[in-house]
């Protein structure tokens, strides 16, 4: 009986840590200036040049205090400038990421493949990226302008579009002997 209980506890522990490991995070790709991250638990992390770069957990609110910054979660890239504030959220499993603007003067870009969504005050998008399938961009709130393959499309709440995928790198020709 104790052996079964111990085995069950170990299995639950492994499942729990696997689920936690699978929880999407956001990383800081590049930045100048200062960034402030407010986590869901209320703790605040400041990021300055030369400091270790933290993984940003789902449920966080990110503010670029000075300079500019590029963030990434899976296939979703966020470009923000000084004064921009946005929230990052993602379910514990799956390829969905949600980005929402916070504040009156925030204007950020959300890039997926070759598609770029412009978000302003009150806008939010959901990006679904499944391996082997085309990524989807959905307007959750507001009106979001998306440029994809040189064409602009405005998405309103509830509308979705497929993101243009980046072309695979060209294979260099073998030089003649």
How many whole angstroms separate alpha carbon 168 and alpha carbon 166? 6
By three-state DSSP, how is residue 51 classified?
coil
pLDDT tops 80 at residue 14: no
pLDDT at 1 over 60: no
Each residue's pLDDT tens digit, 92-104:
666 789 999 998 8
Query: How much is the pLDDT for 165?
Result: 73
* Bridge partners of residue 69, in order along the sequence: 31, 80
Are 108 and 99 a contacting pair, CB within 8 Å? yes
Q: What is the pLDDT of residues 114-151, one digit of tens each?
A: 999 999 999 999 999 766 677 899 999 999 999 998 89
């Amino acid at each position: 009986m104790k052996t079964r209980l111990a085995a069950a506890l170990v299995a639950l522990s492994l499942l729990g840590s696997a689920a936690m490991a699978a929880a999407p995070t956001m990383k800081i790709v590049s930045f100048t200036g200062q960034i402030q991250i407010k986590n869901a638990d209320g703790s605040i992390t400041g990021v300055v040049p030369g400091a270790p770069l933290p993984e940003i957990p789902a449920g966080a609110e990110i503010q670029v205090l000075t300079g500019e910054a590029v963030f990434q979660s899976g296939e979703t890239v966020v470009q923000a400038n000084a004064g921009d504030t946005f929230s990052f959220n993602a379910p514990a499993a799956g390829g969905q990421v949600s980005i929402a603007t916070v504040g009156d003067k925030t204007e950020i870009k959300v890039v997926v493949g070759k598609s770029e969504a412009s978000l302003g005050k009150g806008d939010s998008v959901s990006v679904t990226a499944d391996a082997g399938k085309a990524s989807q961009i959905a307007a959750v709130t507001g009106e979001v302008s998306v440029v994809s393959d040189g064409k602009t499309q405005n998405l309103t709440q509830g509308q979705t579009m497929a993101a243009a995928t980046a072309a695979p790198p060209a294979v260099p020709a073998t030089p003649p002997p």
